[in-house]
Amino acid sequence: MIMPIVTEQLRKHFGALRAVDGIDLTVHPGEIYGLLGPNGSGKTTLIRLLVGLLRPTAGLAVVLGHAMPNKATLSQVGYMTQAGALYDDLTVRENISFFAAMCGGADRARVDEVIALVDLQERAGSLVRTLSGGMKQRTSLACALAHRPRLLLLDEPTVGIDPQLRAVFWSYFRRLADDGVTLVISSHVMDEAERCDRLGLLRQGRLLAEGSVSELRAQAGTATLEEAFLRFAEGGNR
Amino acid sequence: MNTQRIFALARRVMRQILRDVRTVALLVFAPMFVLAIGAVLFRAEPARLALGIINEDAGVSLPMAGEMALGARIVNTLAEGNVFELVPLDQNEIDERLRDGAVEGVLILPADLSAAFQRERQVTLDLRLEGSNPSRSTLITARVTEAAMKTFAGLAASGALPGAGSAELPVRINATHLFAGETFDTLDFVAPVYIAFLALFFVFLLTCVSFLRERSQGTFERLMATPVNRIEIVLGYMAGLGLFALLQVAVILLFTVWVIQINYLGSLALLFVIVALLAMVGVNLGILASAFARTEFQVVQFIPLLIIPQALLGDVFWAIEDMPAHLQVVARFMPITYANRALRDVMLKGWGLAEIWPNLAVLAGIAALLLVLGALTMRREV
């Protein structure tokens, strides 16, 4: 079985800044893998390397069996950024259809399906400009889903949305994982991380530890994930 | 009103501008750049006008002064100034030499010129002009008239022919045009370049702004995270914006032809093809320029660098032949130069595809080159 994501000593330097500093990680099929770390720990750079928006300074990022950047692989990858990244002057449906078309296309039924998945049936014909922040975020997720990707790379997808919608988002994620989609989700919120199947703890461009929440707690010998993170961080400093 | 707040605002604005090094550089250099081009052009002496001469004047014998050949005298006066380069021609090659550009006008001095002047103290000279550039036509007519008047004044002063310059209008110029003609007014002559410039400018702006918006709203990054490649993006933009560019070209052309009612020869369809090609150049130039801009503001800064020089150097207001050699080289890289030539050839000379295709080929070549450059310079890493 090939792993959806394998990186080997992956590095990305911006001048003197080592944004990603030699990361080895493995993501298993059908799991929700959380990238947990404070702001500036390299989460976004790592995801951009995985999606091929950045070229590694050194090392390897193998996504769905292909070294990135690789354009062809992207037809099976869904990507969502922190900012909306939608066309304000197009409708919800038009945005979804457009991004799906870029990735090989989706028929009308599929577009309806993802619109239903994110509960936007009533606003499908509305211009994105007229939507609330949460609705834009849901549209953005739908755009990443319409072409039935096998792998979803989501960069802080729940940042800036209310707790209620956040819970809804996590129910979407779980449903997708149950359907066999692999998800990589970055976050700096601990309670969110607890919902992931496995976690990679990131700090200063390095992977401090990797494993399920209980594994990480056991490894660090702490009661909470937060304490575990701090324990690993101390270890990294020593 | 709080001066402290105003001061703080002013300081913030200054700080922001200073942080954008390119804007500061442009504030300093762009005016110098545009002024320098303009200065060189305004100062440039026009190249000498090539004037064909057919001198068949037989001359006359004057009772007191002996032989007098008015034709030869006029030719001498014309040769004196630094204005004309005289080319002796035969009757039967007038239009041919005008067509191939060897001369811009032909002055015909008939066999009975001296005799007629002796008899009537007044002559009418035939001047055949190329006619597609009104300022050149006017210049040639004025200089020829001036030379003839000077000749007659000289005759009167020397006493060879008393009263030689006394008639109210000793010289009349009967100017005929190979191309265009008298029904054409100045607007008809400037219309081709006017059309070309508008098409290029608006399409360039439209492209830059829509492409920049893609970057600023973050959708470009998302687009780059899909299998679509850069040449596909450029072609997609070209097709999408091209449609509106063509619509605009149609509006410009039909408005000038039907509402402003300019005179033109040649086919309207061919005009459409020329301007459409130029509009495609505008789209591709816009895509290329947006790769080097982060904001809409920086795109606007490209106008003095990319668009104004085309207005100055692209055969719009100044004829390329009159420019200093180094500027002529630059002018040959301006796409608008080729569009203007083709448009003039069609609108003023009535030429067809067979004659103008080289200009169209250059335009298409420039459009293709810009397309490739646009795709190559498009940054993956935003």
Q: DSSP letters of B271-298?
A: HHHHHHHHHHHHHHHHHHHHTT-SSHHH
- Section A12-38 average pLDDT: 86
Instruction: Kindly list the residues from chain A whose CB atom is less than 8 angstroms away from the CB atom of residue B381.
Output: 53-55
Q: Which residues lie below 8 Å from residue A159, measured CB to CB, with a gap of 6+? A: A82
Residue to substitute from B210, B213, B219, B378, interface A, most A β-carbons within 10 A: B219
Q: Which residues lie below 8 Å from residue B247, measured CB to CB, with a gap of 6+? A: none
Taking all residues of chain B, what is their mean pLDDT, rounded to a whole number? 79
- Section A87-114 average pLDDT: 84
Least confident interval from B7-11, B72-76, B82-86: B7-11
Token pair for B327: 């500027």
Instruction: Judge: B381–A74 Cβ closer than 8 Å, yes or no.
Output: no
For residue A81, give the chain B residue with the closest CA. B222
- Candidate from A51, A81, A103 with C-beta closest to B218: A81
- Candidate from B217, B224, B228 with C-beta closest to A53: B224
Q: Which residues lie below 8 Å from residue A54, measured CB to CB, with a gap of 6+? A: A12, A45, A48, B381
- pLDDT, tens digit, 9 for 90 and up, residues B253-308: 888 888 777 777 888 888 888 888 888 888 888 888 888 887 777 888 888 888 88
* Three-state DSSP state, A158: coil
**B229 in contact with A at a CB cutoff of 8 Å?**
yes
Instruction: Judge: A74–B225 Cβ closer than 8 Å, yes or no.
Output: yes
Q: What residues pair up with A80 in beta bridges, in sequence order? A: A154
What's the confidence (pLDDT) of residue B369?
92
The CA-to-CA distance between both ends of chain A, in Å, stands at 37
- Candidate from A53, A85, A103 with C-beta closest to B227: A103
Q: Which residues lie below 8 Å from residue A93, measured CB to CB, with a gap of 6+? A: A111, A115, A124, A125
What's the confidence (pLDDT) of residue A183?
92
- Section B171-175 average pLDDT: 80
Q: Is the pLDDT of residue A165 over 70?
A: yes
Minimum distance, in Å, between the CA of residue A133 and any CA atom of chain B = 14
Instruction: Judge: B224–A85 Cβ closer than 8 Å, yes or no.
Output: no
Q: Which residues lie below 8 Å from residue B278, measured CB to CB, with a gap of 6+? A: B196, B199, B200, B335, B336, B339, B363
List the strands of the sheet with A151-154, edge to edge.
A77-80, A151-154, A182-187, A32-36, A198-203, A206-211
Q: Of the candidates B295, B312, B293, which has an alpha carbon nearest to the alpha carbon of residue B304?
A: B312
Quick count: other Cβ atoms within 10 Å of Cβ B82?
8
Q: Of the candidates A78, A65, A72, which has an alpha carbon nearest to the alpha carbon of residue A152?
A: A78
**B221 in contact with A at a CB cutoff of 8 Å?**
yes
What's the confidence (pLDDT) of residue A184?
92
Identify the band that residue B73 occupies on the pLDDT scale cut at 50, 70 and 90.
confident
Token pair for B253: 């052309």
What's the confidence (pLDDT) of residue B203?
82
Handedness of CA B18, B21, B24, B27 (dihedral sign): negative
What's the confidence (pLDDT) of residue B159?
65
Ramachandran category for residue A189: left, alpha or beta (phi over 0 → left; psi -120 to 50 → alpha): beta
- Candidate from A75, A85, A103 with C-beta closest to B218: A85
Q: Is the pLDDT of residue B345 over 80?
A: yes
Interface ipTM? 0.85
CA A116/CA A147 separation, integer angstroms: 15
Residue A173 contacts residue A32 (beta carbons within 8 Å): yes
Q: Is the pLDDT of residue B164 over 70?
A: no
**B379 in contact with A at a CB cutoff of 8 Å?**
no
Q: Which H/E stretch holds residue B114?
A: helix B113-120
Q: Which residues of A touch B (CB under 8 A)?
A: 51-55, 69, 71-72, 74-75, 77, 79, 81, 83-88, 99, 102-104, 143
Instruction: Judge: B222–A74 Cβ closer than 8 Å, yes or no.
Output: no
Residue to substitute from A64, A70, A71, interface B, most B β-carbons within 10 A: A71
- pLDDT, tens digit, 9 for 90 and up, residues B76-135: 888 887 778 888 888 888 888 888 778 888 888 888 888 887 787 788 888 888 877 777
What's the confidence (pLDDT) of residue B51?
84
Q: Is the pLDDT of residue B169 over 70?
A: no
Instruction: Kindly list the residues from chain B whose CB atom is less than 8 angstroms away from the CB atom of residue A71.
Output: 227-229
Instruction: Kindly list the residues from chain B whose CB atom is less than 8 angstroms away from the CB atom of residue A145.
Output: none
- Candidate from B222, B380, B382 with C-beta closest to A79: B222
Instruction: Judge: B226–A99 Cβ closer than 8 Å, yes or no.
Output: yes
- Candidate from A74, A86, A88 with C-beta closest to B226: A74
CA A167/CA A164 separation, integer angstroms: 5
Instruction: Judge: B226–A103 Cβ closer than 8 Å, yes or no.
Output: yes
Give chain A's length: 238
Token pair for A121: 């049936």
**B216 in contact with A at a CB cutoff of 8 Å?**
no
Instruction: Kindly list the residues from chain A whose CB atom is less than 8 angstroms away from the CB atom of residue B224.
Output: 53
For residue B219, give the chain A residue with the closest CA. A85
Instruction: Report DSSP letters for B204-253, one per residue.
Output: HHHHHHHHHHHHHTTHHHHHHTSS--HHHHHHHHHHHHHHHHHHHHHHHH
Count the alpha carbons within 13 Å of A42 in the hemisphere toward its beta carbon.
24
CA B139/CA B130 separation, integer angstroms: 12
Q: Is the pLDDT of residue A159 over 70?
A: yes
Identify the band that residue B326 occupies on the pLDDT scale cut at 50, 70 and 90.
confident
Identify the band that residue B163 occupies on the pLDDT scale cut at 50, 70 and 90.
low
Cα angle B21, B26, B31 (rounded to 5 degrees) comes to: 160
Cα angle B239, B245, B250 (rounded to 5 degrees) comes to: 130
- Candidate from B218, B222, B224 with C-beta closest to A99: B222
Instruction: Judge: B223–A102 Cβ closer than 8 Å, yes or no.
Output: yes
What's the confidence (pLDDT) of residue B382?
43
For residue B216, give the chain A residue with the closest CA. A85
What's the confidence (pLDDT) of residue B380?
55
- pLDDT, tens digit, 9 for 90 and up, residues A104-154: 777 888 888 889 888 888 888 888 889 888 888 889 988 888 888 899 999
At A112, which amino acid appears? D
- Section A205-218 average pLDDT: 82
- Candidate from A54, A55, A102 with C-beta closest to B228: A102
Minimum distance, in Å, between the CA of residue A73 and any CA atom of chain B = 7
Beta strands B123-129 and B105-109 are antiparallel
For residue B229, give the chain A residue with the closest CA. A71
**B100 in contact with A at a CB cutoff of 8 Å?**
no
Q: Is the pLDDT of residue B165 over 60?
A: no
Count the alpha carbons within 13 Å of A94 in the hemisphere toward its beta carbon.
11
Longest dimension (CA), chain B: 97
pLDDT top residue among A191 and A155: A155
Q: Is the pLDDT of residue A238 over 50?
A: no
Q: Which residues lie below 8 Å from residue A177, measured CB to CB, with a gap of 6+? A: A30, A31, A32, A183, A197
* Start-end of H helices in chain A: 43-50, 92-102, 108-117, 133-145, 163-178, 190-193, 213-220, 225-237
- Candidate from B221, B228, B229 with C-beta closest to A53: B221
**Chain pair A-B, CB pairs under 8 angstroms:** 51
- pLDDT, tens digit, 9 for 90 and up, residues A41-58: 888 888 999 998 888 888
Q: Is the pLDDT of residue A205 over 70?
A: yes
